[in-house]
Amino acid sequence: MDLDPELAALRPLGGFFVLRTLPGTAGGEPWRLPTLADGYDGYDGYDGGTADPRRDPVALRVATVGERLRIAEPRVAASLAQQGLAARLWSAALGCAVLYGRIPDLDPRLLRWDARATAPDDLWLAEPRPLPGDAATLAATVLHGHLEPLAAALRARYGVAAGLLRGNAGSALAATARELGRWARAHGRTDVAARTRALTGELFAHPLLDATGTRTGTAFRRRSCCLYYRVPGGGLCGDCCFTRPPRSAPPSPLRSSPGGASG
């Protein structure tokens, strides 16, 4: 079916999947927010200086995550911030693909970003321009359109390893697929479950995702760690490569994050 102006079909999936759309005329608070493109482009010509959260939405998101989770290490906050955004983007895109058969154009210039807000008030789409809902378009939209430039920024600014960031992307996709599968089973939507499995399988065959972890059914065991164990009171995620926290962190329980950002 065609995309509707408010992407209303996403609402029953839960707030993490919802993507708010902006009014047709300019004006109002969301229009004053920076775009995701502003965040990615803000790293052009990085010279080793310190990010200013007041002007840079990526730095603001990392600082916000660090404050809320009491994280002393910027690298850890950057990893978790990236994972959360990856989960939001996968959720909106894959949710639309399986429910509508199409996805909205998520060009970074069309997405306004409130870097201090939580889902679904963090992202605002200017208008839902329809694109095909196939795996190639999903990869081009989310992986190449967002996660690659975001990863480049976080590597340059915070020194986060490329493999860790790819693992976060794979973990977020796997979690999104699990949530869609649970919803489909609960509502008798075998068609949604089948499309979710097919698209997720194709996406994990992509060169940027195929080495991120091992999939067994809906379970995913990643080959890298998102560093959540370094959060005060944190622990290991359900798909972590470790079986117990490394010695540098005190033992703590496994984490499970419905809706996406586990890893």
The tokens of 84 are what? 């959360």
In a domain, 197, yes or no: yes
In a domain, 30, yes or no: yes
In a domain, 15, yes or no: yes
In a domain, 260, yes or no: no
pLDDT at residue 73 greater than cutoff 90: yes
Average pLDDT over residues 48-62: 71
In a domain, 229, yes or no: no
pTM, rounded to two decimals: 0.88
Q: Is the dihedral of CA 51, 57, 142, 194 positive or negative?
A: positive
In a domain, 131, yes or no: yes
The tokens of 181 are what? 């599968």
Number of structural domains, the chain? Answer: 1
In a domain, 146, yes or no: yes
Burial of 238 (0-12, 13-18, 19+ CB in 10 A): middle
Q: Could you report the per-residue pLDDT of 193-229, keeping only the tens digit for each?
A: 999 999 999 999 999 999 999 999 889 999 999 999 9
| Contact call for residues 53 and 126 (beta carbons, < 8 A) | no
CA-based nearest residue to 191, from 130, 238, 233, 133:
133
Q: Among 51-60, 198-207, 238-247, which stretch is predicted with the lowest mean pLDDT?
A: 51-60
In a domain, 113, yes or no: yes
Domain range for residue 75?
8-42+51-222
